């Protein structure tokens, strides 16, 4: 039988510590929506998405009420559009993005992910067209998210694609200059991308996935922070143990909601992704967890070690709680979405170099990083290449979501609004990387057997 303490613990996690189900994401395969006529294909996409996801928002809201757990977002991920659109005779994939945008609006979801391509070894015609369409597609739609995978541990880094993504980011920032380059918040460049990630902007419905699937993203930096705060002076092994237990409890909530949503929508349950995804709300911060461990500011020496402990403990707790852990599962370190990160940047405790080091042990990468608008395209590509190299060499997912904010310089601020937050512009290295980036070609896959 449950004790009153256990019941109150759960209630407290939700009411005081911002425990929430961050997203229920429905994956939908669009592989049967190809057609030589792009208009027909777009209509098929719209019809299928609106048909499959018809009850998604209602079911999500009903579950939230019954269980008393906030479910913040209901979202959709689809098959990478480059694969679906490739059969169509057209030179622009903008109409496909518009069809997805309309479908997302119709069913009431705030983001739809999958304007994507997997190009880690090379580009097909469809990949080429998709990447070329990204700036316009994201600038002219509201809800569509794009991602491109440019590297994997098994195939190395496609530097031609990295170079193009630098250009795409820069172009997209210009096209959305009146909104501080907000288009770039909907675009992630990945290495080793997971095919079942429910979190935006990087979600898409992988080719190995079923017709439709429900994936759930749970979050709760505030709950973990409270756990750490309740153990002042405890040694790090004890701390890791406590974080594991908390992560277990949080993940169970994801498992419950995922199973319930899948059953009610009549589609298979995919994975739970336990990711500590911060929001600008006070206390809902990954940086503050690290600071609770005893660092004066996030970014101080020791931050990488503290984050490694946190990320690993979260994964271990999650893996115990659900046999279907997937996606990114770990700790996110987006800058603009995390009040503690913003403060650390403001006080110059944290810069791009330390952030990059921290991405070696966090679950994703350089996320929501606002840099000066006049940053050269090659420098952006080089930042992506560095992130990709970290992912490829360490056999982990890394991503880069970088916003070169038009007209803004170091020392200025940018406000994206809502969950995307507000951040100071972070300085980048002023020396040029263009000679390296412009060589193009492919950085070969690493040898991982010769480990001595």
Partner 1 sequence: MKTEQSQAIKGNRIIISVIGPDRVGIIAGVANVLADNEINILDISQTTLQEYLAMVLIADMAKSRIDLDTLKEELHTKGKELGVRIDAQHEEVFNFMHRI
Residues that bind partner 1 (CB under 8 A): 1-11, 62, 65-69, 249, 252-253, 255-256
Distance CA 312, CA 309 (A): 5
By C-beta, is 69 or 402 nearer to partner 1?
Answer: 69
Answer whether 102's CB lies under 8 Å from 141's CB. Answer: no
Q: Is 151 exposed, middle or buried (0-12, 13-18, 19+ CB in 10 A)?
A: buried
Q: Is 6 exposed, middle or buried (0-12, 13-18, 19+ CB in 10 A)?
A: exposed
Report in angstroms how near the CB of residue 7 gets to partner 1 at its nearest. Answer: 5
By C-beta, is 114 or 258 nearer to partner 1?
Answer: 258
Distance CA 373, CA 287 (A): 26
Answer whether 273's CB lies under 8 Å from 217's CB. Answer: yes
Q: Which residue reads 């060499």 in tokens?
A: 393
Report in angstroms how near the CB of residue 67 gets to partner 1 at its nearest. Answer: 5
Nearest Cα residue to 333 out of 203, 423, 206: 423
By C-beta, is 6 or 106 nearer to partner 1?
Answer: 6
Report in angstroms how near the CB of residue 281 gets to partner 1 at its nearest. Answer: 20
By C-beta, is 67 or 413 nearer to partner 1?
Answer: 67
Report in angstroms how near the CB of residue 284 gets to partner 1 at its nearest. Answer: 19
3-state secondary structure of 363: coil
3-state secondary structure of 144: strand
Nearest Cα residue to 122 out of 82, 85, 93, 90: 82
Report in angstroms how near the CB of residue 37 gets to partner 1 at its nearest. Answer: 46
Q: Which residues pair with 334 in a beta bridge?
A: 367
Q: Report how far apart, in Å, the C-alpha atoms of 389 and of each of 39, 148, 424 are.
A: 39, 15, 26
The tally of CA atoms less than 13 A away on the side-chain side of residue 335 is 36
Q: Which residues pair with 402 in a beta bridge?
A: 369
By C-beta, is 61 or 346 nearer to partner 1?
Answer: 61
Report in angstroms how near the CB of residue 418 gets to partner 1 at its nearest. Answer: 26
By C-beta, is 104 or 257 nearer to partner 1?
Answer: 257
Q: Report how far apart, in Å, the C-alpha atoms of 158 and of each of 49, 120, 152, 395 are.
A: 32, 5, 9, 16
Report in angstroms how near the CB of residue 254 gets to partner 1 at its nearest. Answer: 10
Report in angstroms how near the CB of residue 283 gets to partner 1 at its nearest. Answer: 18
Distance CA 300, CA 303 (A): 6
CA angle 422, 424, 426 (to 5 degrees): 130
Report in angstroms how near the CB of residue 62 gets to partner 1 at its nearest. Answer: 8
Q: What is the dihedral of CA 327, 312, 391, 355, to 10 degrees?
A: 110
* 203: number of Cβ within 10 Å: 33
Distance CA 370, CA 281 (A): 19
By C-beta, is 46 or 248 nearer to partner 1?
Answer: 248
Task: State both tokens at 254.
Answer: 């994801």
Task: State both tokens at 326.
Answer: 């997937």
Report in angstroms how near the CB of residue 317 gets to partner 1 at its nearest. Answer: 12
By C-beta, is 190 or 248 nearer to partner 1?
Answer: 248
Distance CA 169, CA 163 (A): 10
By C-beta, is 48 or 252 nearer to partner 1?
Answer: 252
Report in angstroms how near the CB of residue 252 gets to partner 1 at its nearest. Answer: 5
By C-beta, is 3 or 449 nearer to partner 1?
Answer: 3
Q: Report how far apart, in Å, the C-alpha atoms of 393 and of each of 163, 309, 354, 377, 444 are.
A: 20, 20, 18, 24, 11
Report in angstroms how near the CB of residue 55 gets to partner 1 at its nearest. Answer: 16
By C-beta, is 144 or 253 nearer to partner 1?
Answer: 253
Answer whether 444's CB lies under 8 Å from 156's CB. Answer: yes
By C-beta, is 272 or 402 nearer to partner 1?
Answer: 272
């Amino acid at each position: 039988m449950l004790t009153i303490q256990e019941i109150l613990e759960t209630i407290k996690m939700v009411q005081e510590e911002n425990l929430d189900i961050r997203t229920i994401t429905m994956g939908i395969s669009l592989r049967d929506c190809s057609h030589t006529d792009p208009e027909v294909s777009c209509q098929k996409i719209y019809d299928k998405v609106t048909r499959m996801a018809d009850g998604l928002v209602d079911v999500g809201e009903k579950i939230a009420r019954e269980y008393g757990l906030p479910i913040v977002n209901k979202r959709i991920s689809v098959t990478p559009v480059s694969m679906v659109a490739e059969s169509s005779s057209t030179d622009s994939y903008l109409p496909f993005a518009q069809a997805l945008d309309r479908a997302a609006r119709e069913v009431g979801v705030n983001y739809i992910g999958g304007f994507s391509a997997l190009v880690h070894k090379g580009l097909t015609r469809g990949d080429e067209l998709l990447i070329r369409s990204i700036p316009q597609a994201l600038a002219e739609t509201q809800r569509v998210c794009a991602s491109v995978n440019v590297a994997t541990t098994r195939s190395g880094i496609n530097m031609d694609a990295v170079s193009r993504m630098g250009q795409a980011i820069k172009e997209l920032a210009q096209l959305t200059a009146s909104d501080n380059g907000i288009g770039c918040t909907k675009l992630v460049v990945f290495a080793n991308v997971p095919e079942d990630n429910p979190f935006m902007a990087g979600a898409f419905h992988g080719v190995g996935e079923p017709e439709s699937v429900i994936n759930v993203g749970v979050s709760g930096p505030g709950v973990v922070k409270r756990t750490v705060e309740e153990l002042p002076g405890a040694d790090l092994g004890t701390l890791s143990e406590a974080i594991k237990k908390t992560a277990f409890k949080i993940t169970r909530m994801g498992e419950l909601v995922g199973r319930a949503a899948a059953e009610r929508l009549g589609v298979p349950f995919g994975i739970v992704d336990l990711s500590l995804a911060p929001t600008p709300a006070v206390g809902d911060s990954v940086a503050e967890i690290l600071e609770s461990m005893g660092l004066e500011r996030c970014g101080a020496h020791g931050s990488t070690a503290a984050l490694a402990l946190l990320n690993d403990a979260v994964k271990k707790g999650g893996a115990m709680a659900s046999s279907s852990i997937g996606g990114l599962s770990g700790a996110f370190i987006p800058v603009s979405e995390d009040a503690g990160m913003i403060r650390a940047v403001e006080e110059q405790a944290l810069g791009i170099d330390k952030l990059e080091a921290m991405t070696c042990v966090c679950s994703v990468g350089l996320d929501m990083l606002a840099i000066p608008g006049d940053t050269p395209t090659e420098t952006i590509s080089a930042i992506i290449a560095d992130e990709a190299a970290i992912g490829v060499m360490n056999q982990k997912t890394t991503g880069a979501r970088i916003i070169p904010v038009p007209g803004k310089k170091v020392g200025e601020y940018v406000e994206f609004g809502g969950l995307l937050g507000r951040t100071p512009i972070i300085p980048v290295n002023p020396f040029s990387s263009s000679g390296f980036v412009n060589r193009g070609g492919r950085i070969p896959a690493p040898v991982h057997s010769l480990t001595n």
